[in-house]
Structure 1
Amino acid sequence: MDSTEPTAWGDAEGRRRDILRSAEKLLADSGYAALTMRAIAVGAGVSSGTVYQYFDGKEDVFVALMSARLADMTTTLDELDPGVGITGVLSAILPQVRELWRLFGRSAQQWESKVLAGGPKGKRAVTSATVFRRMARALEKALRTAAAAQGVALVDHPAMAYWVWDSLIGVADDLVHGGSLQARVSAGRLVEFATEAIERGIVAR
């Protein structure tokens, strides 16, 4: 929702979107340290008390944002035509991975420690970890289906999808920070090389 019009009184879903949009901007501009309930409230045009009506704290807001991005990726993967091939699957999801990394890259360590690492977790953190695993399963399924359409098989290893994800994050980091441009390698050439390299790494020999 990009409109700057104030959310109507009683529109709970709209108010929640305002809060999440404010939090996302804070993360993108200044990182996790800037994500306070007061700052989120100011950006959303509401009181801190209103933010607490929707979220228990800033960690709760943070994992909600990550969960929404991961859920969008899962939808993309579920709807892909397997005929695009393995590199097509990777290229299709890479813009969303890049955007996630642009927004949350500086905060990834906090998310991993609060959501993916062991130890006590709040209800929303548990939900976020579940969403991440669901996305990883969708990624593996999309890759295996695309591989079958190509007439090849992928390696049979439980870490495969997570390795692919980490590889995509590495590409996204380069795209966000322009590392390859220093060597005069265009974004398009980087993506082409990286997706083909990932495919070679996961196809069974």
Structure 2
Amino acid sequence: MDPTTPTAWGDAEARRRDILRAASNLLESSGYAGLTMRAVAEGAGVSAGTVYQYFDGKEDVFLALMAARLENICTTVDTIDRTLGVAGLLREILPQVRELWRLFGRSAQQWEAKVLAGGRQGRPATMSAAVFRRTIRSLERALRETAAADGRTLVDHPAMPHWVWDSLIGVADDLVQGGSRQARVSAERLVTFATEAIERGIVDS
């Protein structure tokens, strides 16, 4: 749908998309601190009361944005060509992980502490946690299928996909912060080194 097209009265799903689009723009321009319900309402062209019809507060808006990004990553993981090799698969995923981290950054750690560690358990929190777990399961399945297509197997350990995810977040953080560039290592060389190192770390010898 064209974002410039006015949302029809009564189109609840489109209104929700308008609110989330405005929230995403705010998060990108002003960070989590700028994600106020009033600012979201202004960006979406609705009243603050309308925003509260869809979300209980800024934290619920944040959770919905996080879940949407994770859903996109999950879809990508499910559809990636399994003949790319493990490192190649990780390189395909990394741009979206980088964007997730660029947008949510340190706030993602707050989300992890509150949601994944068994804290706040309202409906939005439960949904975003479920999407994250589905993403991890999809990542593990994709990694194993990709390794199998290459005649290899991966280590059999429940922590494996979580370690891979955390490793990708670490690479994403470096790409966002430009740490490797300060050491005169190009982003391309960093990504190649990191994804190949992750592959070596999870292939069963």
Q: Secondary structure at the match of 2:85?
A: helix
Whether the 8 Å CA contact 1:32–1:106 is kept in 2: the answer is no
Output the CA distance in 1 between the equivalents of 2:145 and 2:120.
36
Q: Secondary structure at the match of 2:10?
A: coil
Matches within 5 A, 1:1-205: 3-205=3-205
Output the CA distance in 2 between the equivalents of 1:184 and 1:150.
33
Output the CA distance in 1 between the equivalents of 2:188 and 2:25.
27
Cα offset, 1:2, TM superposition: 6.0
Cα offset, 1:98, TM superposition: 0.5
Output the CA distance in 1 between the equivalents of 2:114 and 2:60.
10
Alignment TM-score, normalising by the size of structure 2: 0.95
Output the CA distance in 1 between the equivalents of 2:62 and 2:39.
13
Output the CA distance in 2 between the equivalents of 1:7 and 1:27.
22
Whether the 8 Å CA contact 2:19–2:40 is kept in 1: the answer is yes
For structure 2, list consecutive stretches of 5 or more residues without a partner in the other structure.
none
Cα offset, 1:4, TM superposition: 3.0
Q: Secondary structure at the match of 2:56?
A: coil
Cα offset, 1:6, TM superposition: 3.1
Whether the 8 Å CA contact 1:31–1:106 is kept in 2: the answer is no
Output the CA distance in 1 between the equivalents of 2:167 and 2:89.
14
Output the CA distance in 2 between the equivalents of 1:17 and 1:90.
30
Output the CA distance in 2 between the equivalents of 1:122 and 1:8.
29
Superimposed CA distance per residue, residues 44-86 of structure 1 (whole angstroms, 9 cap, x where no aligned partner): 1110011011112111111111111111111111111211110
Are residues 160 and 2 of structure 1, via their aligned partners in 2, closer, same or farther at CA, if it must alter by over 3 Å?
A: farther
For structure 1, list consecutive stretches of 5 or more residues without a partner in the other structure.
none
Cα offset, 1:33, TM superposition: 2.1
Corresponding pairs, count: 205
Cα offset, 1:120, TM superposition: 4.2
Matched residue type, 1:95: P
Matched residue type, 2:188: G
Cα offset, 1:106, TM superposition: 3.0
Alignment TM-score, normalising by the size of structure 1: 0.95
User: Share of identical aligned residues, percent?
Assistant: 74
Cα offset, 1:8, TM superposition: 2.9
Matched residue type, 1:10: G
Output the CA distance in 1 between the equivalents of 2:106 and 2:32.
7
